[in-house]
Structures are given as structure tokens and as C-alpha cells.
Amino acid sequence: MPTHHRVIIGNSQKMPEIESGSVQLIVTSPPYPMIAMWDEQFKSDPKISELWRKLDVCADEATLRQIYDSMHENLAKVWVETYRTLCEGGIACINIGDATRSIAGKFQLFPNHARIIEVCEKIGFTTLPYILWKKPTNKPKYNGKGAFLGSGFLPPNAYVTLDCEFILLFRKGSLRRFEPKDKQRYDSAFTKAQRDEWFSQIWTLKGTRQTANDIERRTASYPEEIAERLIKMFSVKNETVLDPFLGSGTTTKAALKNDRNSIGYEVDAELLQTIRNKIDSAKVHTLEVVERRPLI
């Protein structure tokens, strides 16, 4: 059966193109607060940009904390909209990593996963047991800087490496209801081997190789395997998956391959061609692109 895919070039803090309760699953990964590669994008909010200017002058911890809070306030607007668009019992899967940063010589952890759980619970989501995505490639660091060398074998000043990211899982409302023997649902069943692997808490999977060109590097895309597993675990064929931070289009491609419809939002118009290239697939589908003007 052909599926339908919408890519909206615009800011997902507002998603007027989507009716409330019309999406069955969210699979996404936002820009990570306090990870340097996303600093510039967060600065498109004038309040954050002003706070960075202040930090450059005074280099104080309180201002850094304000920046962190403001970044999460920006993401929270999207989480509110995702809640609205989800159906009763729909699941939101949010891939996020924690961050570390030093200010005036003081090392700090920014536990993004904990902040997103707090925010989503306030919005009304129920937090479900989550997945730890272990990336085997990261090397241990000493004092958050170089690799472990010499003194790295001496206690007590080394830090544990952040070599896991989180795939947070939330549900809106109560469990979804289906007719007994619902055909689409039964057609979407996974195998015992898949269930045993996918529903365990640690997934050891390599990250996407950040080779290719500049455009692909700046999306920090997740592996297709992650999007595919989540889609097969938490949605039924022919349903609709939303990614409010589409990046290079990985979620759309995974939806397409697995007979789900999709909607994706991406604020960076330059990524449209990358998205088109990625989903150029043999499966029958229609692609509708909406370019909002202005993007907000």
C-alpha cells in the first residue's frame, strides 16, 4: 500500500498543519542543549543570544545555567505541540544525550535527559522505562579533556565517559485500544527474537558515520536502525509517525520502508535536498513538501 509523507520546512514550536490527536507515534532527536555544535542554532532565539554575550563578558555559572534553562524552554514548546498532535495512548520517543561543559575552570554536567523527563511530565506525559543507546566508539576522557594518559590510572579525578545516549519513552494518556484481531495490528507483529532484543534496556549500536559532506554532518543523524525499531515497536502499519526535528530525514525513510505515513518538520531549509535524496526509495509513496514563509 502506498504511504504518504509530508516534509514541512518550518519551526515545529507551532504545528498548525497537524490536527490534534491525529498522530500515533513521535520519533525524534532535538538539538542537544550545551553540546557546542548546536550553540549557534539556539542563538537564533534573541534571549539566548543576549545571554551568550553576557557570558562572554562575565563568564559566570549563573548565566550558563540561564542559557541551559532557556534552551530547554525552547524545546519545551515543541514537546507541548507533540503532546497535542498525539492520539490517546500514542507514544513519544525522544533521543537525547547529556552534555558536559566547564565554566571558569569548573566542570559541570548538564543532564538533558532528566530535564526533558521533568518537562514532559509537567505537560501530562507518562514516563515509560527508557532505552540506553550505548555507542561503542567513544573513548574515555580524563578531566573532560584529552584521552586517558598516565595519571588517568590514578584516583580520584577522572570522569566516567558519556558513552550512552537516552531514548526516552513517553505515553499520552491510557493504553491504546484495538478491535480484537485487528488485521493491521496483527500484520505489524514483531518476532520473538526482535522482541527480546528491542525491549531490553541497552541497545549497543554504532552511531551514524559523520563522514560525507558538511550538510550531513550538521544534522548529527541517528542510525536508521534506531528509527526503524521504534516505529515497529510502537506503531501499526499505515499509521502516522511525526518527527518535529527531521534533520536529514532518517525518520521519514524508516517510516517509508515500514509502511507508515510520516510528517517531518525541519527549520533548516538547506536540508531539503538532503532529505529528498535520503528518501529516494523504491517503495511506492507520495511526498508533499511545504515550505513555510516565514519559517516561524
Ligand X SMILES: C[S@@+](CC[C@H](N)C(=O)[O-])C[C@H]1O[C@@H](n2cnc3c(N)ncnc32)[C@H](O)[C@@H]1O
Min dist CB 46 to ligand X, Å, is: 15
Min dist CB 85 to ligand X, Å, is: 14
Cell of 33: 542543549
Give 142 or 169: the residue with its C-beta nearer to ligand X.
Answer: 169
Q: Who's near 212: CB < 8 A, 6+ residues apart?
A: none
Q: Sheet of 240-243: strands edge to edge? A: 202-204, 126-134, 164-171, 86-96, 23-28, 240-243, 261-266, 3-9, 285-291
Interface with ligand X includes 29 (CB under 6 A)? yes
Which single residue brings its beta carbon nearest to ligand X? 247
Helix 112-123 vs helix 61-85: crossing angle, to nearest 10: 40
Piece of the chain touching ligand X by CB under 6 A; list 9-17, 142-150, 155-163, 199-207: 9-17
Q: Who's near 100: CB < 8 A, 6+ residues apart?
A: 34, 107, 108, 109, 110, 144, 159, 162
Min dist CB 112 to ligand X, Å, is: 12
Interface with ligand X includes 33 (CB under 6 A)? no
Residue numbers 245-274 binding ligand X by CB under 6 A: 245, 247-248, 250, 265-268, 271
Interface with ligand X includes 12 (CB under 6 A)? yes
Min dist CB 11 to ligand X, Å, is: 4
Cα distance between residue 240 and residue 56, in whole Å: 44
Interface with ligand X includes 85 (CB under 6 A)? no
Interface with ligand X includes 238 (CB under 6 A)? no
Phi and psi angles of residue 28, each rounded to the nearest 5 degrees, phi first = -160, 165
Q: Residue numbers of the site for ligand X (CB under 6 A)?
A: 11-13, 29-31, 41, 78, 219-222, 245, 247-248, 250, 265-268, 271
